Amino acid sequence: MTTTTMQQEADRLGGFYVPRYEVKIEGANLPRDVVFDVRSVTYRDDVDGLDSFDLVVNNWDEPNHRFKYIGSETASMLKPGHADYPRVTLFEPCGKEVELRMGYGNDFITMLRGSFTTMQPSFAGGAAELTVSGMNVLHQLRRKQYTTTWTDKKDSEIARDIAARTDNGHKRFPLPIKIDDEALGKEKSIPLVTQQNTYDIDFLFQRARKRGYVMFVQEADETRPRQLYFGPSRPGMIPGIRDVVYELAWGRSLLEFKPTIKTANQIGKVTVRGWHRTRKEPISRTVDLDDERITANKDLHRVINACAAREEMVVDEPVFTNCEARERAIAILLDQTKELVTADVKIVGLPELRAGQIVVIKELGARLSGKYFVTKTQHSMDESGYLTTFSCRREAGVD
């Protein structure tokens, strides 16, 4: 695995000088006076949820002694055609497309395309501020719940089918769904899967979590449209983001590293039981840490065994074949072993570091050094500079 050190990244980005952001609303840059009002910009993403952003904006118009964006508007100002209409409705939650980009100098990376969802003004005794929040396009999917049944389909096939379904002549899902063909080939068909009165996006997250997959929006590039990725975590999977694995080391590039080794919920063996509907007989499959497919944190399995890890019995899983019971047991045990070592990290701002990527952490001993999967990130830019904080889980030792 080829890695990129922070020194190499600093050389590429001019020493991390001149951090900058860019916000576009309906394709137009923020007006210059609005840019001066923005006090901080924050972007967040998470493999288990929707990515979002916050803008903290000055809401006080000192020359006119009034609130600038919300709090002093009149009914007439809120009507199209009024001179103040663009200003007082600029951040109003609505269908306007918002694009957020972050980076250094003129090297910008698109972080998110979405829309404003929340305005939260503060009228405390100090400076008047407005916090404007937004989410990516996926939040628009929580508009209608569906009930759908699939028979003898793989999870990736179900995801692809949802992308193709229509409702009253319109696509149920506004984005194409990209599946991993290699993962599809390894999946087993499931006799029966039911989406019961659930939003498509929430149902897909449920299926992804069961398989240990991730889901996130991949922004468009010159070769493909904007799409939703559904599949296993792999480095370099985000379009517009380089195929880069950052190498971070204590004493050189880690500003803060707070790890946790937790054995309380670790399990050494999983048994999944179900009912074979054709043969009319019970199903039972057991998987333990010695299974060849339980590869996560293999070098730390001794820690789990030393704690007399408990056996987990899962009896209410909707599994109908022996193969499906085994796959589910493997997924449960893998999920647990991946949570053995987790960490919260702070580094200089890296706009290309996102949830779903791998980072290599070194110089912290055999148990803490390793390959970590990033589960969520937060990119914050204000007058103090640009920082990235992220949460991650260890999945393997350092080669």
At 194-229, the pLDDT tens digits run 999 999 998 998 898 778 787 877 777 788 888 889
Averaged pLDDT of the chain: 89
The pLDDT, as a whole number, for residue 315 is 60
H or E element: which one contains 274? strand 267-276
User: Is there a contact between 59 and 395 (Cβ–Cβ < 8 Å)?
Assistant: no
Q: Torsion-angle region of residue 228: left (phi > 0), alpha (psi -120 to 50) or beta? A: beta
Which DSSP string corresponds to 314-373?
E------SHHHHHHHHHHHHHHHHTTSEEEEEEEE--TT--TT-EEEEESSHHHH-EEEE
Cα–Cα distances in angstroms (integers) from residue 9 to residues 100, 353, 376, 392, in the given order: 22, 12, 21, 20
Selected residue with higher pLDDT from 369 and 189: 369
Cα–Cα distance, 293 to 285 (Å, whole number): 15
Which of 5-9, 123-127, 182-186 has the weakest average pLDDT? 123-127
The pTM (predicted TM-score) of the whole model is 0.83
Which CATH number among 2.40.10, 1.10.10, 3.10.620, 2.60.40 corresponds to the domain 20-140? 2.40.10
Nearest to 107 by CA among 253, 3, 240, 243: 240
**Average pLDDT of the segment spanning 224-238:** 77
Domain spans, the chain: 20-140, 142-232, 244-261+346-397, 267-339
Q: For residue 251, what are its two tokens? A: 């004493």
Taking each helix axis as running N to C, give the angle between helix 200-211 and helix 155-164, from 0 to 180 degrees, rounded to the nearest 10. 160
| Three-point CA angle 391, 269, 186, nearest 5° | 70
pLDDT above 90 (res 336): no
pLDDT confidence bin for 235, thresholds 50/70/90: low
The pLDDT, as a whole number, for residue 9 is 93
The pLDDT, as a whole number, for residue 115 is 92
Cα–Cα distance, 130 to 23 (Å, whole number): 16
Nearest to 331 by CA among 228, 226, 188: 188
Selected residue with higher pLDDT from 231 and 1: 231
Residue 222 DSSP label: T
Q: Percentage helix, strand, coil, to 5, in the chain?
A: 20, 45, 35
The pLDDT, as a whole number, for residue 308 is 64
**Average pLDDT of the segment spanning 71-92:** 95
pLDDT above 90 (res 254): yes
pLDDT confidence bin for 85, thresholds 50/70/90: very high
CATH code at 142-232: 3.55.50.10
Residue 263 exposure: Cα atoms within 13 Å on the Cβ side: 12
Cα–Cα distance, 149 to 203 (Å, whole number): 12
The pLDDT, as a whole number, for residue 237 is 60
Selected residue with higher pLDDT from 158 and 281: 158
pLDDT above 80 (res 257): yes
pLDDT tens across 38-68, in order? Answer: 999 999 998 777 789 999 999 999 999 999 9
Q: For residue 260, what are its two tokens? A: 């946790």
The pLDDT, as a whole number, for residue 236 is 56
H or E element: which one contains 183? helix 181-186
The pLDDT, as a whole number, for residue 371 is 95
